[in-house]
Amino acid sequence: MIPDLIGPWLAELHRSTGLNFVVFYDGFEYRRFVAGAVLSLQLIAAALAVSLVVGVIGAWAQGARLAPVRWLMGAYIEVFRNTPPMVQMLFFYFALGAYTPQIDAGGYYEPMITAFGWALISLGVFGGAFNVEIFRAGLEAVPKSTHEAAESLGFSRWQIYLYVTLPLAFRISLPALTNNLVSLAKTTSLAYVISVPEMTFTLSRVWSDHVNVPEMMLVLFVFYVGIVTIIAAGLHLLERRLALPGYGQ
């Protein structure tokens, strides 16, 4: 455990220099920090997953034969891309949250969808609006001739979509997708505004308790830059693994 490992040294650092990295030597604050970090990671992972699902379904809906479905999809994309994500989150949590049913939690009532749930929905829908466009552009970039070649080999419509178009479209979309997922991971810090106790919120509590803003700010920067680096590195690795031999630079 970190407090056992470097705790004494950090406590000494605090005594001698005043630099107070309290979350790494105090047991209570350490548990608070870990809880915040875990919640942040959960929120990031879930928001990315929801946004991907929304993106895939949306890209499919944009190619729908029914015109109203395409219109609704277009309106959804435009609204969520061109309004502030923070106001979207406030709207989801406060305006829609007021209408969700309460459930009996043994004597007292709890909203069916928690703040975390609303943050997840709002972030997934926001990030999904961008993913729809990315996937659609990828699908459109697959050359017609590939489609025709598959057709001439006797593939059915679904087989072409599943085995030819989709794998190629995914590879084409990857660079743009990486950008958007990274940006979405950073946007999860907005859950602060609806008091989801993720990293930003947790550390802001810590620095108001201990008046150690610079130190906690440093921890916060390291946390997010670290996460973004890991996500970007993972997706770049995937990009290289999936690269088509003979294509691209």
- Distances from the Cα of 151 to the Cαs of 60, 156, 209, in angstroms? 20, 7, 66
Candidate list 41, 228, 235, 238; residue touching other proteins; CB under 8 A = 228
Candidate list 171, 181, 194, 202; residue touching other proteins; CB under 8 A = 171
206 binds other proteins (CB under 8 A): no
Candidate list 34, 35, 193, 235; residue touching other proteins; CB under 8 A = 193
Q: Which residues contact 163 (CB under 8 A, 6 or more apart)?
A: 150, 155
- Left, alpha or beta for 195 (phi > 0: left; psi -120 to 50: alpha)? left
- DSSP class per residue in 90-108: HIIIIIIGGGSPEEE-SSS
* Residue 132 DSSP SS3: helix
Q: Based on CB atoms, which residue is closest to other proteins, 6 or 166?
A: 166
Pairing of strands 109-111, 102-104: antiparallel
Tell me if 192 sits within 8 A of 201, measured CB to CB: yes
152 binds other proteins (CB under 8 A): no
The 3-42 site mask, x for binding other proteins (CB under 8 A), equals ----------------------------------------
Candidate list 168, 194, 196, 206; residue touching other proteins; CB under 8 A = 168
Tell me if 70 sits within 8 A of 58, measured CB to CB: no
Long-range contact set of residues 7-11: C-beta below 8 Å, sequence gap at least 24: none
Candidate list 100, 146, 156, 195; residue touching other proteins; CB under 8 A = 146
Q: Based on CB atoms, which residue is closest to other proteins, 11 or 114?
A: 114
Cα separation of 190 and 214, whole Å?
Answer: 20
Q: Given the rule CB under 8 A, which of 5-13, 20-28, 214-222, 233-241 is the region that contacts other proteins? A: 214-222
Q: Which residues contact 81 (CB under 8 A, 6 or more apart)?
A: 129, 130
Q: Based on CB atoms, which residue is closest to other proteins, 24 or 223?
A: 223
245 binds other proteins (CB under 8 A): no
Candidate list 190, 194, 196, 206; residue touching other proteins; CB under 8 A = 190
Candidate list 6, 213, 235, 238; residue touching other proteins; CB under 8 A = 213
Residue 52 has a CB neighbour count (10 Å cut-off) of: 19
74 binds other proteins (CB under 8 A): yes
* Residue 205 DSSP SS3: helix
The pair of structure tokens assigned to 181 is: 């997922």
Which residues make up the interface to other proteins (CB under 8 A)? 62, 71, 74-75, 77-79, 81-88, 90-91, 94-96, 98, 130, 133-134, 136-138, 141, 143, 145-146, 168, 171-173, 175-176, 179, 182, 186-190, 192-193, 200, 204, 207, 213-214, 217, 220-221, 224-225, 228-229, 244, 246-248
